[in-house]
Structure 1
């Protein structure tokens, strides 16, 4: 009863948490570092000598970028710039100042180490503005760990990272996630029988699987996305459509070079409108979860859900938890479903790799007929290599960016405080220098024996690294592993259409419809 009462009090509480101070080391050590940096800066080349396109007053590098920039596939500009200017080059973007783009993993490692104590990321400014101006000041100028930096970011991050990234906590949702994937396999079989292959809108079916899976963790319950009789105007399906629109609106707003700050351009108005709808549905869903929590028998034994754990975390307010759950739903639909779309494509185009993954699944599961267990997940070594290799070839973002809080040296050049440095992990992942036979899908390159040579630990960072690493990583990986185990156990996948590329919608997505064919395996 005491636990239940505490949950009720915490759910109603809106008290502010305190900021955690991070220790940066002793003064003597800091002094040694400062002296070393001063010497390094003196020996460095000036930033003006760094290769890059011609810059102009006020408009910076904009002419070069606009001449060769595809808003639906902007990664191609950076690939071409890397060929033209080399592994380190400079852009000057209006409103952002100098941007340093790097592809050498050593530079990525140095950047992340330089900023490890306070990893300031280029904010998704339009999303922060929408939340800061929300109706009734819902967010109280605390926009969540996706967009905040500094002490406000760390205040929340330091309190939520343990429950969200601890394998034991994430593992409590394994059997439920597995059940969602098992049910989705039936949906695939149904679509295959009806159409002879997956229909053009199969990506939307994948979104439904993704929301149903992440909803288990974020809201501690099934949302009914896989129910064949679900209504088109249901909250769950509306959430998917709204999130898709938000991603597109964010992409269009963020590449508008700040025009949305001067006047409400259509993408920003759409972002604001759709975010309001998203907030309304998400809060309603969380209230339903709250009611279920409070209706539990206080004397019954049950696993404490992630939401309950967060509500009982000292220093987090109700609105902190609401914002985090909001971001889990927002970030948990497109990301895993797009990655699995790329994985299925690569397996279909590489039948030997698919057969090897099927053999691993058969060996691990054998005659096991119940839900997946943690011991099974631990044995899926080749499966994990398949995911790593896919994320090398088809990452969801360009790379890892940081705003520098002090002068430093990168690639031998003096880079001033306030500049933005971006490690282009996507470009690095496609570079033969770091990944031999880079255009080939070779999951075995990630095996312990490293048959194609050692891999730099900072050459492929699909989830980021350090204290700002993707906080939903373990949740996303578990979702993908359960999906792959069940799809490889039951089907062989094929794809007969146009080669897959990537399109930009804030995060990358498959360029072609996911018109896979799934053939039932003989058991």
Structure 2
């Protein structure tokens, strides 16, 4: 856009700096998403077993996802990731500020007013056959739920022109890490561990999350 407006193009150093920023900015949020997936896997053994059965079918005898195209066949694992992001979005709030006065429907928004967008709330209203607050990956597979086809209400990476540019990279990293966990380990809840809590700072992260990884036989 800057080039189209007659401004100087980015230098190689500027391109490198922006790519580096994207990679670093997604590190914590991606790690938190993987942590929340691990939490749900340990909390729902039946879900974990279905994930492992799928992984064993798709990537065995490999120990990890070596062919990224094969990740598209991990239908259930991807449903688990989507359901995790619906319930435990690491960016449940986005702050935006208009550069000029805008009208959104019946609402006039003056230039410079900071808006806090509750991006998780829309996804929590997508029910289907299960209650909205229930962890149910099947809601992404049956087509019975609005969450499986009305993607506008599912915004873990934002939406529109401000969609997170690191979305594809983050999903690839989460899918690869979770596939490796499923293939090699059983994830178990730690006995007498404190209740897991949500903590929101720059992003939303789990606190008191303790999971035991036991190598599969």
Q: Shorter-chain TM-score category?
A: 0.7 to 0.9
Q: Tell me how far apart the structure 1 counterparts of residues 2 and 69 of structure 2 sit (CA, whole Å).
A: 39
Q: Tell me how far apart the structure 1 counterparts of residues 47 and 87 of structure 2 sit (CA, whole Å).
A: 15
Aligned-pair distance for 1:469?
Answer: 1.2
- Match among 141, 146, 150 for residue 454 of structure 1: 146
Q: What count of residue pairs does the alignment treat as equivalent?
A: 210
- Match among 208, 212, 217 for residue 517 of structure 1: 212
Q: Kindly indicate whether residue 3 of structure 2 is the aligned counterpart of residue 19 of structure 1.
A: yes
- Match among 492, 497, 504 for residue 200 of structure 2: 504
- 1:485 maps to what in 2? 179
Aligned-pair distance for 1:345?
Answer: 0.4
- Determine if contact 1:502/1:509 at 8 Å carries over to the other structure: yes
Aligned-pair distance for 1:517?
Answer: 0.9
Taking only aligned residues, the RMSD between alpha carbons, in angstroms, comes to 2.6
**CA separation of 1:490 and 1:332: change in aligned 2, threshold 3 A:** same
SS at match of 1:395: coil
Q: Tell me how far apart the structure 2 counterparts of residues 509 and 495 of structure 1 sit (CA, whole Å).
A: 18
- 2:103 maps to what in 1? 408
The unaligned stretches of length 5 or more in structure 2 are none
- 1:113-512 superposed matches below 5 A: 315-368=9-62, 372-404=66-98, 405-410=100-105, 412-431=106-125, 434-435=126-127, 436-447=130-141, 449-451=142-144, 453-455=145-147, 456-496=150-190, 497-512=193-208
Q: Tell me how far apart the structure 1 counterparts of residues 49 and 22 of structure 2 sit (CA, whole Å).
A: 34
The unaligned stretches of length 5 or more in structure 1 are 1-16, 22-150, 156-314
SS at match of 2:131: coil
With structure 2 as the length reference, what TM-score do the two structures score? 0.84
Q: Tell me how far apart the structure 2 counterparts of residues 348 and 519 of structure 1 sit (CA, whole Å).
A: 11
- Determine if contact 2:86/2:123 at 8 Å carries over to the other structure: yes
> Per-residue displacement from partner, 1:189-235 (whole Å, max 9, x unpaired)?
xxxxxxxxxxxxxxxxxxxxxxxxxxxxxxxxxxxxxxxxxxxxxxx
Aligned-pair distance for 1:355?
Answer: 0.9
Aligned-pair distance for 1:326?
Answer: 3.5
Q: Tell me how far apart the structure 2 counterparts of residues 482 and 471 of structure 1 sit (CA, whole Å).
A: 19
Q: Tell me how far apart the structure 2 counterparts of residues 18 and 338 of structure 1 sit (CA, whole Å).
A: 34
- Determine if contact 2:64/2:176 at 8 Å carries over to the other structure: no
- Determine if contact 1:396/1:508 at 8 Å carries over to the other structure: yes
- Determine if contact 2:64/2:179 at 8 Å carries over to the other structure: no
- Determine if contact 1:406/1:416 at 8 Å carries over to the other structure: yes
> Per-residue displacement from partner, 1:105-141 (whole Å, max 9, x unpaired)?
xxxxxxxxxxxxxxxxxxxxxxxxxxxxxxxxxxxxx
Q: Which is richer in strand?
A: 2
> Per-residue displacement from partner, 1:322-376 (whole Å, max 9, x unpaired)?
4214313431321111111111001110111111111110111233468611332
Q: Tell me how far apart the structure 1 counterparts of residues 17 and 87 of structure 2 sit (CA, whole Å).
A: 32
**CA separation of 1:409 and 1:365: change in aligned 2, threshold 3 A:** closer
